[in-house]
Amino acid sequence: MLVTMSPSRFLVGNPQNSSSPFILLSSPHHSLLPPSLPLKSLHTPSLCSRHLSPCSALQWNRKPQLAGETPRVVVITSGKGGVGKTTTTANVGLSLARLGFSVVTIDADVGLRNLDLLLGLENRVNYTAVEVLNGDCRLDQALVRDKRWPALELLCISKPRSKLPLSFGAKALTWLVDALRSRAAGAPHFVLIDCPAGIDAGFITAISPADEAVLVTTPDITALRDADRVTGLLECDGIRDIKMIVNRVRTDLIRGEDMMSVLDVQEMLGLPLLGVIPEDAEVIKSTNRGYPLVLNKPPSLAGLAFEQAAWRLVEQDSMTAVMVEEEPRKRGFFSFFGG
């Protein structure tokens, strides 16, 4: 498995086997290379083919341009549990902080709080939103700042094994987001809300203050059915800016037609594609360590994909999935082009 970058493409695959699937992640507007990737690994002429522009070294020479009015309130949801919402919130949030944007992540999953574990901040959560609403502490006391990247802050709704007051709902979360907008330290650039699974009261509460949504799904039929249902609910709630992240993609299963391709997923849901995250064992390792994947050195494939998704989120960019045959008798050249 080799990885290379060109000014508009991120290529993963085995160049020694022409039938091996390639994932080509592309955006025509900007460079997507994290600064941690060494330049010597970027120039790999052997990976070029007649379908691709000449491979060349990529320069990390600018900061992404923030689009839209701040703060941008984004809910990360899916409907189905276990598809990677919390992992996406942690890694995209930290990627945004590393790009120089201030981020507040809100764990809106009341019963099963996990975002603090993935960020490695579980031992520093002393106050939650419930204490803020009860007047027991100030909002800035409930915000937990990441010491590694101070631009990232965490707000938990409640403590584990504690009952949430019946009065907490959509209005309470909207009040918290409005308080972040008007706080003395300045409004954050992004507010990322980690939505609980399902479409019950917790889901309604989490999406209420959001202006944008990132729908996380995996390429299996159960996740896609739930994602389609959630898309309809988001649109009914007035959220029209909905983008999709396809998680846990395995090119070997796609090649064997045992997994739907990203093109199939995009055609079924009809949503702009924010990112494609390959299956990566490093995700489990980073989760157990409380060390977000995007901080790994050297970077993993999934970490690179999360950083690219964060960059597109900043600029409100998207991708388009297509499928290209390298030769009529040789199948398996899968591509995802930016659009």
Q: What is the mean pLDDT of residues 218-238?
A: 96
pLDDT above 70 covers a percentage of the chain that reads: 75
| Residue closest to 156 by CA, chosen among 109, 86, 96 | 109
Q: Is a pLDDT exceeding 70 seen at residue 142?
A: yes
Q: Rounded CA gap, 106 and 113, in Å?
A: 10
Q: What is the mean pLDDT of residues 190-209?
A: 94
The pLDDT of residue 319 is 86
Q: Is a pLDDT exceeding 60 seen at residue 335?
A: no
- Give, in order, the Cα–Cα distances in Å from 273 to each of 214, 244, 246: 10, 5, 8
Q: Which residues pair with 249 in a beta bridge?
A: 278
Question: Looking at the domain that runs over 73-106+169-315, which CATH code has it been given?
Answer: 3.40.50.300
Work out the angle at residue 254's Cα, subtended by the Cα atoms of residues 222 and 299, and round it to the nearest 5 degrees: 95
289-333 pLDDT, tens digit per residue, is 999 999 999 999 999 999 999 999 999 999 877 765 545 444 444
The pLDDT of residue 161 is 66
162-171 pLDDT, tens digit per residue, is 666 655 789 9
Q: What is the pTM of this model?
A: 0.80
- More confident: 246 or 22: 246
Confidence of residue 177 (pLDDT cuts 50, 70, 90): very high
Confidence of residue 112 (pLDDT cuts 50, 70, 90): confident
Secondary structure class of 140 (helix, strand, coil): helix
21-63 pLDDT, tens digit per residue, is 334 444 444 444 444 444 333 333 333 333 333 333 333 567 8
60-92 pLDDT, tens digit per residue, is 567 899 999 999 999 999 989 999 999 999 999
For 16-86, list the strands marked E by DSSP: 23-26, 72-77
The pLDDT of residue 320 is 79
The pLDDT of residue 242 is 98
Q: What is the mean pLDDT of residues 139-152?
A: 96
One-letter-per-residue 3-state SS of 78-90: CCCCCCCHHHHHH
Q: Mean pLDDT score of the chain, rounded to an integer?
A: 81
Q: What is the mean pLDDT of residues 225-237?
A: 96
Alpha helices in 148-250 (DSSP H): 170-181, 201-207, 221-236
The pLDDT of residue 132 is 93
Q: What is the mean pLDDT of residues 240-253?
A: 96
Buried b (16+ CB within 10 A) or exposed e, 166-187: eebeeebbeebbeebeeeeeee
Q: Which residues pair with 77 in a beta bridge?
A: 215
The pLDDT of residue 334 is 47
Q: Which of 7-16, 105-114, 316-325 is predicted with the least confidence, judged by mean pLDDT?
A: 7-16
Q: Is a pLDDT exceeding 50 seen at residue 6?
A: no
